[in-house]
Structure 1
Amino acid sequence: MNAFRFLGDMTHLFSVLVLLLKIYATKSCSGVSRKTQELYMLVFVARYLDLFTDYISLYNSVMKVVFITSSAAIVWCMRRHPQVRRTYDKEQDTFRHVVLIAVAFLFALIFNERFTIREICWAFSIYLEAVAILPQLVLLQRSRNVDNLTGQYVFFLGAYRAFYILNWIYRYFTEGHHSRWIPWLAGLVQTALYADFFYYYFLSWKNNVKLELPA
């Protein structure tokens, strides 16, 4: 494992921990898109179908379990926890995420490396992850004022994908054979979606003011 992948995994894990901290410490999911969290849970379940069939390493297995269980815990809290679910802004979180699921599945059926159930699920998870952040970004844009923990969650989630692109570039030049085009394309799309958020995040950090997104 190279440093870029490790940093990508750690920033991804840290983003989840930040979100869990926000929910459990404040008993609030204000500013958090439940639809994005449901999409991420679907991403992890579809991608890690090999959890009980293919063993790579203890690290790999633990990370898979952590991401599946943490995403499920977040969705459960937003749907079932008495205090947390009352803070969910359903009227603002109206992005039609079912459309994203349908399009990602269609892409997976058409554009895949092998027409097998596992490969289609893997491609589906990659395509869906590329756009899963859209409901969250739309919600933040509508609410405009972004609390510190939610802003950090989105920032570290975007940083995770940026590190993974560096990981792919590194592996391409050092391993040669690592040239799967699906994660390259989806990763670039996903990173591009964060560009506007990153711009305003760094402006707020530079000027030491609260993060606000334009309407």
Structure 2
Amino acid sequence: MASPSAYDKLSPRSTNLDLIKQYNSGLAVWVAFFTFVFLIYYKFSDGDFSFLMTYAALTRTFGFALLLVRMFIKQHAKGVSRKTLEMYVLVFFPRLVSILRHEGYLPYDKSGDFIYHAAEMLSMALAAACLFYMHTRFERSYQRDYDTFGSVGLPSHLGTLYMIVPCVVLAVLLHPTLNNDFISDTTWTLSMYMETCAIIPQLYMFQRSAANKGVVEVLVSHSVFALGFARVLDMIFWLYSYHELSDAAGSKSVGMLVLATQFIHIAIMGDFFYYYLISIKTGKAMQLPISASMV
């Protein structure tokens, strides 16, 4: 048996090798995902620019699939925000209410006929599954003491109301009319607004969690990055298409607002993106500055 001193010398090296293997595996999964998206594009797309919307939907599905797989691999839910999962379930539900009833907000691309719907439904199912297992199988490992966004003035478990209520009010007052249907137009807009802030509890939890001392677990970081990357793809599409969104009076301001919410989302995740890319470049665990504020 190795002496304690020898073990102490080898242990950090072994840990670093494990981290390198995890990141290499994560990158391999990304390569597999990009290959899958290329095949979807080749088989089910007619090359329209709006395929970016389908690409974004597939990326969200990928992100939640990674998170669910991670829970079962690690057999715990440490470092995962239940509030963010709740928000994303609420993001997908109104979006599906809209896109399953009308076609105004679907990609013009052929992939919008089926693939886009399937990806959004699967994303909701995966997010709901993650949430279900956090309430059941992995309940004991949930770090509720760190998942405290919005706990000022409200019970902690109701903290997401600080995001939900303003989004509902804003969606009712300011929404485009591509479907010429109040419910469909409002629910689609609500999903866009809520997605902007859905990730905030997770980012807040990263900063609050003293247990991992600023280190974000590999698969969790890949999952969160996937959700952010999906928003980047959406933003690119709407950057060239926001002028198609107008309210009942014909004003294009609502289109600019939808686009602005996506820029805000990317800005919110700016620090996370930076440190994620640093971790990919160095092959080391993702380190977040303890004192930095990401929200």
TM-score (norm 2): 0.65
Query: What do the CA deviations read for 1:82-126 (whole angstroms, capped 9, x no partner)?
Result: xx1111001100112121111111212222235822222222211
Is 1:45 the counterpart of 2:93? The answer is: yes
**Which residue does the alignment assign to 1:120?**
186
2:162 to 86, 99, 113: 99
Larger Rg: 2
**Which residue does the alignment assign to 2:248?**
none
**Which residue does the alignment assign to 1:150?**
220
Matches within 5 A, 1:40-189: 40-50=88-98, 52-54=100-102, 57-81=113-137, 84-96=138-150, 97-113=160-176, 116-143=182-209, 144-171=214-241, 177=244, 180-189=255-264
**Which residue does the alignment assign to 1:200?**
275
Equivalent position amino acid for 1:73 in 2? A
**Take 2:162 and 2:241, find their aligned partners in 1: how far apart are those partners?**
33
Is 1:24 the counterpart of 2:72? The answer is: yes
Query: What do the CA deviations read for 1:173-200 (whole angstroms, capped 9, x no partner)?
Result: xxx7467334311111111111011111
The 1:51–1:162 alpha-carbon spacing in structure 2 relative to 1, beyond 3 Å, is closer
Unaligned runs of 5+ in 2: 1-47, 104-111, 151-159, 246-251, 291-295
Equivalent position amino acid for 1:100 in 2? M
**Take 2:120 and 2:60, find their aligned partners in 1: how far apart are those partners?**
12
Equivalent position amino acid for 2:147 in 1? D
**Take 1:170 and 1:79, find their aligned partners in 2: how far apart are those partners?**
41
Query: What do the CA deviations read for 1:139-181 (whole angstroms, capped 9, x no partner)?
Result: 0112211110111111111111111112223546xxx746733
Indicate conservation of the 8 Å contact 1:126/1:182, yes or no. no
How many angstroms does 1:132 deviate by? 0.6
The 1:171–1:102 alpha-carbon spacing in structure 2 relative to 1, beyond 3 Å, is closer
Q: CA RMSD in A?
A: 2.1
Residues 51-60 or 61-70, more deviating: 51-60
**Take 1:77 and 1:135, find their aligned partners in 2: how far apart are those partners?**
18
**Take 1:33 and 1:109, find their aligned partners in 2: how far apart are those partners?**
28
Indicate conservation of the 8 Å contact 2:54/2:116, yes or no. no
Determine which structure has greater relative contact order: mean sequence separation of CA pairs < 8 Å that are 6+ residues apart, divided by chain length: 1
How many angstroms does 1:7 deviate by? 3.1
Moved over 4 A (4+): none
The 1:52–1:126 alpha-carbon spacing in structure 2 relative to 1, beyond 3 Å, is closer
Query: What do the CA deviations read for 1:65-96 (whole angstroms, capped 9, x no partner)?
Result: 21221121111111122xx1111001100112
Aligned residues: 210
SS at the partner of 1:47? helix
